[in-house]
């Protein structure tokens, strides 16, 4: 077996052994088309107050600037579909945040992944990323043959839908590259567009991030949520899953095998009254390893008050 073929087999096997659901590989090259699309999106102000999206523009579209000599971009998918959902008529949390913070979980896996590759291949250069660095992970996933980008902006995989995290490893390894995903199976469906409570999903696969409920409940931090959004949040207190809940492809979603993503009992069972009675100390203790800590206690309380204003409280 030639070294490139052998190294590719090692990569795929290591990904499987670490519990990743899918692994695809693309050639590392500058993303000129994505650069134009991202620039237009930023110019239209669709990133809202997320000023970090404006920084490191060149790094986002050229993997060789992140890893000099980069030859391959490895994309890994990790399913987070929970085995149980929250009780009804309570403040809603996006499913990806039910369990342990995915940044912690996937960073550990990526570190082990790189270690495994070096153990079996030798000295390689590579950097792993998970949703916290200037990497266009959905584009690389599509180029790696793992799915297509839906109208809601999420990567969709025909086998498991869209409830998964995307991790990226840029490396100087020369590997066999998978064929890009050429089909788009959204067709004429517009369920996500029609269902979006704030009309953030626009035609032509453009999502106005400045209108997204996830933006308001997570990214806006300490600022006041605009009054014109009152009554549009559908009880979402952290993130939003509406566009994924209505997506027909998520009927294929299967519960995750990753134990770290098992739901916290409090997220599944807290009533509105219990959320509102939560002290800051209790919040820090319960959610110390949860994505909810990103909004902090003050942010969650602000969101709770916004979706359940005075006079609209749960009575039991």
Catalytic positions, written as ranges: 131
Distance in Å from the first CA to the final CA of the chain: 67
Q: Degrees (nearest 5) of the Cα angle 202, 206, 207?
A: 75
Assigned token pair, 116: 């495994």
* 197: nearest Cα among 236, 139, 163: 236
Assigned token pair, 306: 């916004």
Q: How far apart are CA 42 and CA 206, in angstroms?
A: 12
Give the contacts of 234 (CB within 8 A, at least 6 positions apart).
92, 197, 213, 240, 242
Give the contacts of 43 (CB within 8 A, at least 6 positions apart).
none
Ramachandran angles phi, psi of 78, nearest 5°: -130, 115
């Amino acid at each position: 077996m030639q070294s490139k073929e052998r190294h590719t087999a090692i990569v795929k096997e290591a990904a499987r052994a670490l519990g990743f659901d899918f692994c695809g590989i693309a050639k590392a090259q500058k993303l000129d088309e994505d650069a134009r699309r991202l620039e237009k999106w930023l110019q239209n102000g669709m990133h809202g107050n997320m000023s970090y999206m404006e920084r490191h523009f060149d790094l986002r579209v050229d993997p060789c600037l992140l890893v000099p000599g980069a030859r391959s971009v490895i994309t890994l998918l990790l399913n987070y579909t929970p085995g149980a959902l929250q009780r009804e008529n309570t403040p809603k949390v996006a499913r990806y945040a039910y369990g342990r913070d995915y940044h912690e979980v996937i960073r550990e896996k990526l570190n082990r992944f790189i270690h495994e590759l070096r153990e079996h291949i030798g000295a390689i250069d590579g950097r792993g990323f998970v949703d916290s660095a200037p990497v266009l992970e959905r584009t690389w996933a599509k180029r790696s043959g793992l799915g297509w980008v839906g109208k809601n902006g999420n990567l969709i995989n025909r086998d498991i839908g869209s409830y998964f995290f995307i991790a990226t490893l840029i490396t100087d390894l020369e590997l066999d590259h998978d064929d890009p995903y050429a089909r788009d199976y959204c067709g004429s469906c517009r369920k996500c567009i029609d269902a979006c409570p704030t009309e953030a999903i626009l035609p032509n696969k453009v999502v106005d991030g400045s209108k997204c409920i996830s933006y308001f409940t997570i990214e806006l931090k300490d600022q006041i949520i605009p009054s014109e959004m009152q009554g549009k949040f559908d009880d979402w207190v952290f993130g939003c899953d509406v566009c994924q809940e209505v997506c027909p492809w998520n009927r294929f979603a299967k519960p995750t095998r990753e134990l770290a993503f098992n739901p916290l009992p409090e997220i599944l069972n807290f009533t509105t009254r219990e959320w509102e009675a939560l002290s800051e100390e209790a919040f820090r203790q319960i959610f110390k390893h949860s994505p909810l800590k990103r909004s902090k206690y003050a942010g969650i309380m602000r969101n709770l008050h916004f979706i359940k204003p005075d006079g609209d409280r749960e009575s039991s």
